[in-house]
């Protein structure tokens, strides 16, 4: 990709770029983008527009996205070992956070290349710090699986989590995801739904999961959303653990999953939602 140099390897710099407001591009990020030899980016056209708006003469742009990261990584590491400085950006925000780049960073570090970060914009952190929820500990779920047992499992984990959970979602799936979260967590669980962060039409909606479902139903969601779901109420996680243990014991004793769910509801007074979630989590025999 680039001419080989003699001497020490180059540096791989992971650069955070604006998620909407060009003013969030830091002076350090500008300098790195202007001085590097190669700029690896998800979409060369989108990054090219960013550079043009920022008044930065583009270096060599190389696409690096989810579908070609495996094949492009080796060549980029070769460039780095030959002395080229490579910058890595995503379409918006901080690379590797639900974006490509993990393979390249891992390979470069394993090859002895220095890897540094230019921190900056992040939709995850922007939504979390305006949520009004506890931020000492939290969990990031990124984009949930679209369907199947893995999706149900992840939603059940969010329902039981003792800390707030942050989820990314597209506008077309937002309503369904909020409805499933309400079914798993309870209608009254607090939630924040943020969209178009740092952009002209930025909006942060706060309320309950039941309210969020109604809110989305009455509007036309646009742009990617960040959903922050509050922690399970005190004692909720322990209650769910007890139900899960009981359902597992009943299945181990020979009951079908459906019958174990019914037994847990009737004998323990467990909610059907918790019992069903526990049954889904059990490994298939």
pLDDT in tens, 151-169: 988 998 899 898 999 999 9
Class of domain 11-121: alpha beta
Q: What is the pLDDT of residue 13?
A: 98
> 109: Cβ–Cβ under 8 A, 6 or more apart, which residues?
115
Strands 86-88 and 225-229: unpaired
In this prediction, residue 264 has a pLDDT band, given cuts at 50, 70 and 90, of confident
- Is the pLDDT at 130 greater than 50, yes or no? yes
* CB count in 10 Å sphere of residue 235: 8
- Is the pLDDT at 64 greater than 60, yes or no? yes
What values do phi and psi take at 67, rounded to 5? Answer: -95, -10
Look over the chain and give the mean of its residue pLDDT values, rounded to a whole number: 92
Right CATH number for 124-229 from 1.10.760.10, 3.90.228.20, 1.10.260.40, 3.30.950.10?
A: 3.30.950.10
In this prediction, residue 1 has a pLDDT band, given cuts at 50, 70 and 90, of very low
pLDDT tens per residue across span 85-120: 999 999 999 999 999 999 999 999 999 999 999 999
CA distance 240 to 48: 50
CA distance 239 to 233: 10
Query: What is the separation of C-alpha 65 from the centre of its chain, rounded to a whole number of angstroms?
Result: 16
Q: What are the C-alpha distances in Å from 237 to residues 35, 42, 185, 188, 265?
A: 51, 39, 11, 16, 17
Counting other chains too, the contacts that 246-253 makes at CB distance below 8 Å and 24 or more residues apart are 246/270, 246/278, 247/275, 247/278, 247/279, 247/282, 248/278, 248/282, 251/279, 251/282
- Is the pLDDT at 40 greater than 70, yes or no? yes
Nearest CA to 192 out of 95, 97, 124, 143 is that of 124
> 176: Cβ–Cβ under 8 A, 6 or more apart, which residues?
none
In this prediction, residue 177 has a pLDDT band, given cuts at 50, 70 and 90, of very high
User: In which residue are the tokens 């309870």 written?
Assistant: 186
User: In which residue are the tokens 């540094």 written?
Assistant: 116
Q: What is the pLDDT of residue 237?
A: 64
- Is the pLDDT at 240 greater than 90, yes or no? no
Residue 279, strand partner residues: none
Q: Is the pTM of this model over 0.85?
A: no
Average of per-residue pLDDT across 38-67: 96
In this prediction, residue 2 has a pLDDT band, given cuts at 50, 70 and 90, of very low
Lowest average pLDDT, out of 48-52, 152-156, 192-196, goes to 152-156
Instruction: DSSP for 201-214, please give it.
Output: T-EEEEEEHHHHHH
* CB count in 10 Å sphere of residue 242: 15
> 149: Cβ–Cβ under 8 A, 6 or more apart, which residues?
280
- Is the pLDDT at 270 greater than 90, yes or no? no
Higher pLDDT, 88 or 251: 88
Average of per-residue pLDDT across 186-204: 94
User: In which residue are the tokens 């679209």 written?
Assistant: 146
- Is the pLDDT at 121 greater than 80, yes or no? yes
């Amino acid at each position: 990709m680039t001419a080989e140099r003699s001497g020490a390897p180059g540096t791989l710099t992971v650069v955070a770029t604006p998620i909407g407001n060009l003013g969030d591009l830091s002076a350090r990020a500008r300098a790195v983008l202007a001085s590097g030899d190669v700029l690896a980016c998800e979409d060369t056209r989108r990054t090219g527009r960013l550079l043009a708006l920022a008044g930065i003469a583009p270096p060599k742009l190389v696409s690096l996205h989810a579908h070609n990261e495996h094949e492009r990584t080796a060549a980029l590491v070769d460039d780095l070992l030959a002395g080229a400085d490579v910058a890595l950006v995503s379409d918006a925000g901080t690379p590797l956070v639900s974006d490509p780049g993990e393979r390249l960073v891992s390979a470069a570090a394993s090859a002895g290349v220095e890897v540094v970060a230019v921190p900056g914009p992040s939709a995850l952190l922007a939504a979390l710090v305006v949520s009004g929820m506890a931020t000492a500990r939290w969990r990031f779920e990124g984009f949930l699986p679209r369907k199947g047992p893995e999706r149900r499992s992840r939603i059940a984990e969010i329902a039981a989590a003792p800390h707030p959970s942050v989820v990314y979602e597209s506008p077309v799936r937002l309503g369904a995801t909020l409805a499933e979260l309400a079914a798993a967590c309870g209608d009254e669980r607090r939630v924040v739904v943020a969209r178009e962060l740092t952009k002209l039409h930025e909006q942060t909606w706060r309320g309950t999961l039941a309210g969020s479902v109604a809110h989305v139903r009455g509007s036309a969601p646009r742009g990617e959303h960040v959903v922050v779901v509050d922690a399970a109420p005190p004692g909720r996680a322990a209650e769910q653990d007890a139900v899960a243990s009981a359902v597992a014991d009943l299945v181990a004793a020979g009951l079908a999953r459906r019958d174990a769910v019914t037994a847990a509801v009737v004998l323990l007074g467990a909610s059907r939602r918790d019992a069903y979630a526990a049954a889904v989590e059990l490994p298939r025999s």
